[in-house]
Structure 1
Amino acid sequence: MEAVRCEGSPICCSDQGQGEALVLLHGFCGSAYYWEKVVPLLEDRFRVIVPDLRGHGASDAPLGAYSMDQMADDVRDLLDALEIEKAVLLGHSMGGYIALSFAQRHASRLNAFGLIHSTAFPDSDEAKEKRLNAVSAIRAQGITSFVDGLVPGLFAPATAESAPELIRRAQEIGYRTPPQGAEGAALGMRERPDRRDVVSASALPVLLVAGEKDGLAPPERVFTSDKPHVVQALIAGAGHMSMMEAPDQLAEIIRDFAEAAIRL
């Protein structure tokens, strides 16, 4: 991991491989380490850029809410600092919300984009209330307790039973999230707009990946468009964390999509 000085604040990122740029964004209370099983499967074909997003991992964690637009601009600034003109941008969960903002406002910097266990829908009223509850829980109980409660529900029930080490690894990664970073991201996700039109109307290739057993972003919320430019991929048996649960399958989906998008 290296710290890259971007406009505003430093962003830490992993930069591995050679070829066309592929940027992978992690989810809430994650970090670049969420992708540790996937990157080695892609770096022979792509230059794989995996940042710790604002407020997460080793990157800067300023106080206050982080809008998805701010976090998307962080990614743009990172591309500028790395002198990358265009990339394929894929985001997991919260990272998908950031990818949508980026695609809406900086489409000229992309060859393609996609959502992995994410949705273009906005938060419902119930979900918005849960974001506030998350902030309260972090402040009252600390990040370790919050992550311990969050992570098990990210995995398919069968995975949780058969591979508890994956849950422990995701928790270890989550513990490194600065509390103010988790709070800022939760508040920012709460205010994101409906961006289904960004998926359906894009002139770019779009990838939508869903887990069959994902209780947070079920397939019907991921697959918001079936237009010709949209590739839908369902990973059987996976929950919200296919980069850990089914890394080989996810990497194959990403590779096929990115190679096709770059050839266009």
Structure 2
Amino acid sequence: MDKRYADVNGTRLAYIDRGQGTPVILLHGFCGSSAYYDEVAPLLEGRCRLIIPDLRGHGASDAPEGTYTMEAIADDIAALIDRLNIGRPVVLGHSLGGYVTLALAEKHEDKLLAFGLLHSTAFPDDEKGKEGRLKAMETIREQGLPVFIEGLIPKLFAPAHLETMPEAVRKAKEIGLGTSPEGAVRTLEGMRQRPDRNAVLSAAQVPVLLVAGTGDQIIPPQRTFSVNKEAFQRSQIDGAGHMSMMEAPGELAQAVLAFTAKL
């Protein structure tokens, strides 16, 4: 897919812009890129205008200095929305992208038509999680990004899919290797610092989509479905791990289209 570029907040962001209809911004997870959505995009672009950026430090985007707080990345996306002059889009974030989406909803809800979390959570890291982020930073610094990616990617898929979807696993590793090592470390520090945003979810004045996978070993469904409001659409994908965009693209696309159809 052809990438375009925009300078936002002093950072050059790469993004894909394709399809027609309701503008939907898809944000990828940690050590991912817009390529995470390669299987889903063709299923959505007939009814949505898809804007899929590479977050700072990831894919073909710049990796500026400093900690990548969720607020800083959210400001990148807010600036991109203004830059593209698309009105109020739907923003859906996978994992890290969901943490960014919540920061965006907290600071700029007036810019959003709706938002959603895909295999993500409003909870912050607990102490064990924070410890894990530090270990990951250490691994990248001391042993290199490839060693870290080799350990990370298999955990993102439902165990059964490691056997049945070797191509998808290989592709996810390849995408991960396109991450800037410094960008990965700066993002880990930002994720480690993020606050609890369940209050943001509870206070949402726009429709919200929550998607979880029954086989997700990273963020189990109960951590995604932490707030229950009538206006929320909850979709649980049977058998999917943390990567429904690769493990069950048809079901993820169905959930997104059912959500956007109501807006």
8 Å Cα contact 1:90-1:114 kept in structure 2: yes
Instruction: Give secondary structure in 2 for the equivalent of 1:30.
Output: coil
Question: 1:212–1:238: 8 Å Cα contact kept in structure 2?
Answer: yes
Partner of 1:78: 80
Distance 1:71 1:31 in 2: 14
Aligned ranges for residues 47-66 of structure 1 at < 5 Å?
Answer: 47-66=49-68
Q: 2 CA distance for matches of 1:176 and 1:200?
A: 36
Contact 1:16 1:43 in 2 (8 A): yes
Give the conservation status (yes or no) of the 8 Å contact 1:64–1:180: no
Q: Partner of 1:126 in structure 2?
A: 128
Q: Partner letter of residue 250 of structure 1?
A: L
> Which string of whole-angstrom CA distances, capped at 9 and with x for unpartnered residues, describes residues 82-110 of structure 1?
11221000000000000000011100111
| Structure 1 residues without counterparts, runs of 5 or longer | none
Instruction: Give the superposition deviation at 1:19.
Output: 1.6
Cα distance in 1, alignment partners of residues 257 and 145 from structure 2: 34
Deviation per residue, 1:160-202 (Å, 9 max, x gap): 1111111100000000001011001100000000001111221
User: Which residue identity lines up with residue 57 of structure 2 in the other structure?
Assistant: G
* Cα deviation code 1:67-94 (max 9, x no counterpart): 0000000001111111122100000000
Contact 2:11 2:64 in 1 (8 A): no
Give, in angstroms, the shift of residue 64 of structure 1.
2.3
| 1:126-165 matched pairs, under 5 angstroms | 126-165=128-167
5 Å-filtered alignment, 1:1-264, equals 1-261=3-263
> Secondary structure at 1:152's aligned position in 2?
helix
SS at match of 1:106: helix
Q: Aligned equivalents of 1:245 and 1:9: distance in 2?
A: 32
Give the length in aligned residue pairs.
261
CA contact (8 A) 2:22 2:260 kept: no
* Cα deviation code 1:132-169 (max 9, x no counterpart): 11110000111111101100000001111111111100
Cα distance between partner residues in 2 of 1:81 and 1:205: 24
The residue identity in structure 2 corresponding to 1:142 is G
Distance 1:86 1:180 in 2: 32
Residue 205 of structure 1 deviates from its aligned partner by: 0.5
Structure 1 residue 7, shift from structure 2 partner: 2.8
- Root-mean-square deviation (CA, aligned residues, Å) is 0.8
Distance in structure 2 (CA, Å) of the matches to 1:136 and 1:7: 28
Structure 1 residue 8, shift from structure 2 partner: 1.6
* AA partner of residue 183 (structure 1): V
CA distance, structure 1, for counterparts of residue 30 and residue 15 of structure 2 = 16
Deviation of residue 24 (structure 1)? 0.2
How far does the alpha carbon of each residue in 1:202-223 deviate from its partner, in whole angstroms, 9 at most, with x for none?
1111111000000110011010
Distance (whole Å) between structure 1 residues aligned to residue 145 and residue 64 of structure 2: 16
Matches of 2:131 and 2:65 in 1, distance apart? Answer: 21
Partners of 1:147 and 1:63 lie apart in 2 by 22
Letter in 2 for 1:63: E
- Amino acid in the other structure paired with 1:213: G
Percentage identity across aligned positions? Answer: 52
Query: What's the CA shift for 1:13?
Result: 0.1
Following superposition, the deviation at residue 63 of structure 1 comes to 2.5
